[in-house]
Amino acid sequence: MYARGSGRARRGAAGDRELQLTACSICLRVSEGRDWTAPEELIRRLRTFELTAVPGLATFALCDLCTGGLRWRRRRSDVGMPAEGTPAERRTAIARA
């Protein structure tokens, strides 16, 4: 699955650099190389609210946690979708499997 590359910059119509991000389709965390960050943390750190152009989504992907959750769910038919619960609850459920 494509999931690497935190963000790409491209030129917008006005010449401003526009930030393009990759987000997990299930948990919505944002890719930062090999790490995945909660979107609210990334917004605070990058101060995206101060940018002239709103960051866009370059692509959707699946983070390692959600990929593992999907694989785990496919092996077991008696559990709910991996998107149920918090990431910590999903990690615990996957570790118990």
| Distance of alpha carbon 36 from alpha carbon 39, whole angstroms | 9
- The pTM assigned to this predicted structure is 0.58
Question: Residues with Cβ < 8 Å from 25, sequence gap 6 or more?
Answer: 60, 61, 62, 66
The pLDDT score that the predictor gives to residue 24 is 93
Residues 23-59: tens digit of each pLDDT: 999 999 999 888 999 999 988 998 888 888 888 888 8
* Per-residue pLDDT at 78: 61
